Structure 1
Amino acid sequence: MATLHAAYALLSLAPLLVVSDPPVVYTQPEQVHLSYPGVPGSMVVTWTTFNSTDSLVEYSPWGGRLFDESAQGSATLFVDSGSEKRKMYIHRVTLSDLKPGSRYVYHCGSEMGWSDMFWFKPLDHTSTSPSFALYGDLGNENPQSLARLQKETQTGILDAILHIGDFAYDMHEDNARVGDEFMRQIQSIAAYVPYMTCPGNHEATYNFSNYRNRFSMPGQSESLWYSWNIGPAHIISLSTEVYFYLEYGQELLFRQYEWLKRDLEEANKPESRAARPWIITMGHRPMYCSDDDQDDCTTFDSFIRRGRNDTKPPAPGLEDLFYLHGVDLELWAHEHTYERLWPVYGDKVYNGSTEDPYTNPKAPVHIITGSAGCRERTDKFNPNPKDWSAFRSTDYGYTHMQVVNRTHVYLGQVSDDQSGKVIDSIWIVKEKHGYDAWL
């Protein structure tokens, strides 16, 4: 009888024995993403754990003995500035001496936990005809373009992705858990191709700390501005936000401008322009737009285009700098729309010709691609755009770009609303690059 009473006692405790959650594995890698450090035959693998572990990547050429090479890196502790002061460890490992054109498989982590297996193709300065997806303003809620991007990435259509500001909406929310979830979501694309970024206004909280800590771009500016080379293109990523968040340091605005000037001067040296004739910029807030929302780009004296006169000294804008250094193509987001502009400078159209406006244009070409999908939905257009507005769409989607060769760049807008239909496309054809091309 005593044994029976003991059994009943244990059964009465059974609900108490099973209500606790299983232990969380804080050492398991997650949020895996790649970036190109600008060094030929190399790749940076970045991921997150919530306890301190080693930082290892095991990898091998596709078809070879699995994981027969390894590289070690390090982790930095990131403490989010929210009320909980959540801690996470951001791991970075650089893979070197990779063979361009080959495909590699890899996983990352440590003996305390490994990620899933992913694959990638290395980039190189000499990569021919690189292909990109371009977009900004992608969030956790309503990330409409993500599934199509995942398929294109994993089937090898893309060489890299350019995310032109505004992530997650917003990474700092819920003590940075929203940022964690966003990085988990984009792992389905960012673990397979370099995910190259620039900051947007939605990253500004806590002095852009979630952006600066989570991404691993080239250079020494905590991913705020940098440049890199691929094939026949020199790509410059910049922060438009230095014009708007002066409370985080007005000196950043001038530091970036001086860096941009030096970088453009270097890119315009005869030997540089001969090797990489295309100069392409990416920044979040555009110089021009025809959206009906009173943003900076809807005003003639746009900060990005014309600068600020309320700083000491006055802060120069970017339009003249880019024009004088022969920037060919300027990529923007922020507006939750797609807009293609005719070649424009000083608020005026400078088409190559009436028949072929993008053949030997006499000013830079601007593309706004901020409709990837987020909780703020799409924007509305001004019903009376200026003459420089060539094509507009409020469809969700993203832009394809292929730098085909020294003279041709293709751009096509993919509508996710229309099942992947290319709703707009152009070829930019340039027989001459640099400032002299405008003359």
Structure 2
Amino acid sequence: MVPLHTACLLLSLAPLLVLGVPPIWTQPEQVHLSYPGAPGSMAVTWTTFNETESKVEYGLLGGRLFEMIAKGGATLFVDSGKEKRKMYIHRVTLTDLKPAATYVYHCGSDEGWSEVFSFTALNDSTSFSPRFALYGDMGNENPQSLARLQKETQLGMYDAILHIGDFAYDMHEDNARIGDEFMRQIQSIAAYVPYMTCPGNHESTYNFSNYRNRFTMPGQTESLWYSWNLGSAHIISLSTEVYFYLDFGQELIFKQYEWLMKDLEEANKPENRAVRPWILTMGHRPMYCSDDDQDDCTQFDSYVRLGRSDTEPPAPGLEDLFYRYGVDVELWAHEHTYERLWPVYGDKVYNGSKEQPYVNPKAPVHIITGSAGCREKTDRFNPNPKEWSAFRSMDYGYTRMQVVNATHLYLEQVSDDQYGKVIDSIWVEKEKHGFSAWF
């Protein structure tokens, strides 16, 4: 028999004893999809906090539930914060999917399954007209556009999402718990359509480790730069951050530049450009902007646009490269505003014509869409923009894009402040693509 005073002591220590036992976290969370780049495939990524198997059970909508199984693996990610929190990032790639077919799936293991989600396999036809939502700079706090994006995604309005840098504000904070919470928030979008990303400046802590570990983009560059094809478009995602965080490897500027040159050369081979005439780029920091904040894009000698002369050897910028290979549309974020530019090159406007500036434009079209919502609020504009600034808005919102066919591409800006009103729209029309289109 335990003496009374010993029993009382044990009871008083019970909460401490319970707190000393770590919970078992085998339940999948933070589920998100991405397109691995190969037709008929989809990557499923999720997180657990204990090691488990990595399985996806799936089946065609209307067929037998979970009749197919795919297996993958997990990598241990240890956050670099004080607590050195551990999480397991699971990745499974589904293959041999039927184009445009809808699948129902869940992921996890026999120690815990996610809820049931669905997605539509990407149509691999070059005549497919994909629809995108695109934005950057969305945080865990004040993600104003998120609810509208969640609903529209679940209504089937988008085939893919492009998140153009700056996630969570910031994923590493509170020992990466803010990153976890943000990934839970976007699950209601990203578990239904491929969520394609590029890094921004807010991912830089611990050498972009949260970004590099949490996302699963095509290629072998830890999601820093890659390209993929959809419909009649070749889409390139790049890191503008290589120009600003030289401590993490000055050689990355040259590595990425060389990769971009090879990728653009391949995309411009006549047989490739004939079937995928549109070349689109997405990168976080713009080459041009008219915001009133002294960012790189407000400077004539922007690093992203013109490169850096203070490196050895001097680092090349991206404007001439993109112009030389006939990039059609360049998508940016970073500025917490929306800005549409007239076709611009070398700081000068090159409209197709006065009446129809975006019909056969003589330079790339730039769109800045960084106002999805975060704790830093929206930015202010310079009251005296240069002549290349065509339309500006400080409303919270995001952009929709549809690559309609080989000659027509549509863009529109949604204002969340104005209850989903479309406040700006353009058609980019091109009879010819590539360098020769500029003349």
Structure 1 segments of 4 or more deviating over 3 A?
9-25
Post-superposition offset of 1:126: 1.4
Instruction: Quote the residue 2:324 is aligned against.
Output: 324
The SS at the match of 2:247 is helix
Q: What does 1:45-60 correspond to in 2, within 5 Å?
A: 45-60=44-59
The SS at the match of 1:264 is helix
Instruction: Quote the residue 1:106 is aligned against.
Output: 105
Instruction: Quote the residue 1:116 is aligned against.
Output: 115
Instruction: Quote the residue 1:62 is aligned against.
Output: 61
Cα deviation digits, residues 322-363 of structure 1 (max 9, x gap): 000000000000000000000000000000011110000000
Instruction: Quote the residue 2:366 is aligned against.
Output: 366
Partner Cα distance (2:338, 2:68) in 1: 43
Q: What does 1:11-410 correspond to in 2, within 5 Å?
A: 24-126=23-125, 128-410=128-410
Q: Which runs of 5+ in 2 are unaligned?
A: none
Post-superposition offset of 1:125: 3.3
Post-superposition offset of 1:124: 3.8
Post-superposition offset of 1:75: 0.2
Partner Cα distance (1:396, 1:274) in 2: 37
Residues 437 and 87 of structure 1: CA distance in aligned 2, closer, same or farther (over 3 Å): same
Which AA in structure 2 matches 1:40? Answer: P
Partner Cα distance (1:67, 1:18) in 2: 42
Partner Cα distance (2:435, 2:124) in 1: 23
Percent identity, please.
79
Which AA in structure 2 matches 1:103? Answer: T
Partner Cα distance (1:325, 1:16) in 2: 70
Partner Cα distance (1:91, 1:216) in 2: 10
Post-superposition offset of 1:105: 0.4
Aligned length: 434
User: Contact 1:283–1:332 (CA<8 Å) still a contact in 2?
Assistant: yes
Cα deviation digits, residues 88-107 of structure 1 (max 9, x gap): 00000000000011100000
User: Contact 2:369–2:398 (CA<8 Å) still a contact in 1?
Assistant: yes
The SS at the match of 1:409 is strand
Post-superposition offset of 1:25: 4.2
Post-superposition offset of 1:381: 0.1
The SS at the match of 1:261 is helix
Post-superposition offset of 1:17: 6.8
Cα deviation digits, residues 40-99 of structure 1 (max 9, x gap): 000000000000000000000001010000100000000000111100000000000000
Post-superposition offset of 1:178: 0.5
Instruction: Quote the residue 1:3 is aligned against.
Output: none
Post-superposition offset of 1:123: 1.3
Which AA in structure 2 matches 1:296? Answer: D
The SS at the match of 1:101 is coil
Post-superposition offset of 1:24: 3.8
Partner Cα distance (1:406, 1:27) in 2: 47
Cα deviation digits, residues 160-181 of structure 1 (max 9, x gap): 0000000000000011001000
User: Contact 2:99–2:124 (CA<8 Å) still a contact in 1?
Assistant: no
The SS at the match of 2:133 is strand
User: Contact 2:159–2:193 (CA<8 Å) still a contact in 1?
Assistant: yes
User: Contact 1:33–1:190 (CA<8 Å) still a contact in 2?
Assistant: yes
Post-superposition offset of 1:13: 9.6
Partner Cα distance (1:277, 1:117) in 2: 37
Which AA in structure 2 matches 1:351? Answer: N
Which AA in structure 1 matches 2:58? Answer: Y
The SS at the match of 2:88 is strand
Which AA in structure 2 matches 1:50? Answer: F
Partner Cα distance (1:434, 1:16) in 2: 73
Which AA in structure 2 matches 1:184? Answer: R
Partner Cα distance (1:225, 1:125) in 2: 22
User: Contact 2:164–2:282 (CA<8 Å) still a contact in 1?
Assistant: yes
